[in-house]
Structure 1
Amino acid sequence: MNNSNGLNHNNKIMEEYLMEVPQVLEVNTELVMKSKHILLASLILAQLIYVNCFAWAVVGIATSALGTIINIIEKTKVWTVEVHNNGKHHAHMWCASKDDKIGGNNGIWVKPGDKIMWSFRRHRTTQFWCNMDWYGQRVGWDVFVNNWRDAPNPTKWSIRNDGVYDQWKNRKWRKLRS
């Protein structure tokens, strides 16, 4: 009998334990469900951050690539400078950059109605200038500087009886001050 009393006691403890287990499991299931929602929300947030960062990275890479392409195009594009003598007198001109002399050491004589022109590839330090003896006066000016972002191609200059003029995009001829 003692054995049956002991079994009854053990069965009673087991029943109490089993009665508590579903409650514990329910609590754990609820906790697990809450954890799953938090985990899911965290994963979605992480993906949004990743996608957003990735999108900005793509924009950054595309911008950098576009800048490189523009630089390559600028370096391979041929630029032209034209100086027209629209005055009544011959102009004796010396035009040069740090690397090139247009017309050599003796310069070029430009008759009325004629022009001189030359072409080059633009570089970050490209700068051309001209000096001119004309009608008893000496005039000097920059005819092309790389950082002139609005410089037209061709860049045109006009020598007239009253001075030198330039013409930029969508603008009338303008007299230089020298």
Structure 2
Amino acid sequence: MGISSHNNTGLLLLLLLLLLFSVLVSKSSCKTSALDLLDDYSYEKRKTTVDIQNDIESNGAYLYYHCWSRDDDLGQRSLNQGEQWYWEFRPYPTTHFWCEFRWYDNWDYHWKNGTFTVYRGGFFRDKYAKDLCGKDCSYSARRDGLYLLTKDYVWVKREE
């Protein structure tokens, strides 16, 4: 019972192809890894900051908020008028942070609230990093809603 020469030739050809492929990959001038092809910057190296500031134009309005992701609960907090708070994280394609905001409008005498996505990564295109705010996402809570400072330094009102 021996191995036929046809099987030996196929095995030898397969080994040569594997050797050729490994040489080509190792000699390639391309420095891009397979993960880098999925997104055009390294998630592991850059940090993103989300900044929230209370700019509510109402007499002494407190901003109450609660931010979380699938992995982290940042707790319930509050900001006095004019104060700000931020956190940093290393985003991955699955990163998604939400914040629930509420405040009492002293002019209209009722509570206002809303829940917003404040950061969401992406596998092939990170909309927040590429299009909206870069790696510094600044939000301003105002009497009429929540605003995001874009990469073009323009405040844009966010929809829930």
Structure with bigger helix share is 1
Select the residue among 118, 137, 151 that pairs with 1:155.
137
TM (norm. structure 1) is 0.58
Quick check: 81-90 or 70-79, which moved more?
A: 70-79
Structure with bigger strand share is 2
| Gapped regions of structure 1 (runs ≥ 5) | 1-53
Q: Give the aligned partner of residue 117 of structure 2.
A: 142
CA contact 2:116–2:159 (8 Å) conserved in 1: no
- Residue 101 of structure 1, CA deviation: 1.1
Q: Give the aligned partner of residue 175 of structure 1.
A: 157
1:130 aligns with 2:105: no
Q: Give the aligned partner of residue 109 of structure 1.
A: 78
With over 3 angstroms needed to count, the CA separation of the structure-2 counterparts of 1:67 and 1:132, relative to structure 1, is same
- Residue 58 of structure 1, CA deviation: 3.7
Q: Which has the greater radius of gyration?
A: 1
Select the residue among 41, 44, 50 that pairs with 1:75.
44
* Cα deviation digits, residues 128-153 of structure 1 (max 9, x gap): 01001212022110000013232322
* Cα deviation digits, residues 18-50 of structure 1 (max 9, x gap): xxxxxxxxxxxxxxxxxxxxxxxxxxxxxxxxx
Number of residues paired by the alignment?
118
TM (norm. structure 2) is 0.64
Q: What is the SS of the residue equivalent to 2:43?
A: helix
| Gapped regions of structure 2 (runs ≥ 5) | 1-23, 105-110
Higher relative contact order (CA 8 A, sep 6+): 2
| Structure 1 segments (4+ residues) deviating >2 Å | 61-68, 70-73
- Residue 65 of structure 1, CA deviation: 6.8
- Residue 120 of structure 1, CA deviation: 0.7
Q: Give the aligned partner of residue 22 of structure 1.
A: none
**Superposition RMSD on alpha carbons, in Å?**
2.5
In 2, distance between residues paired with 1:102 and 1:143? 13
In 1, distance between residues paired with 2:35 and 2:80? 45
CA contact 1:97–1:126 (8 Å) conserved in 2: yes
Identity score, percent: 28
In 1, distance between residues paired with 2:119 and 2:113? 19
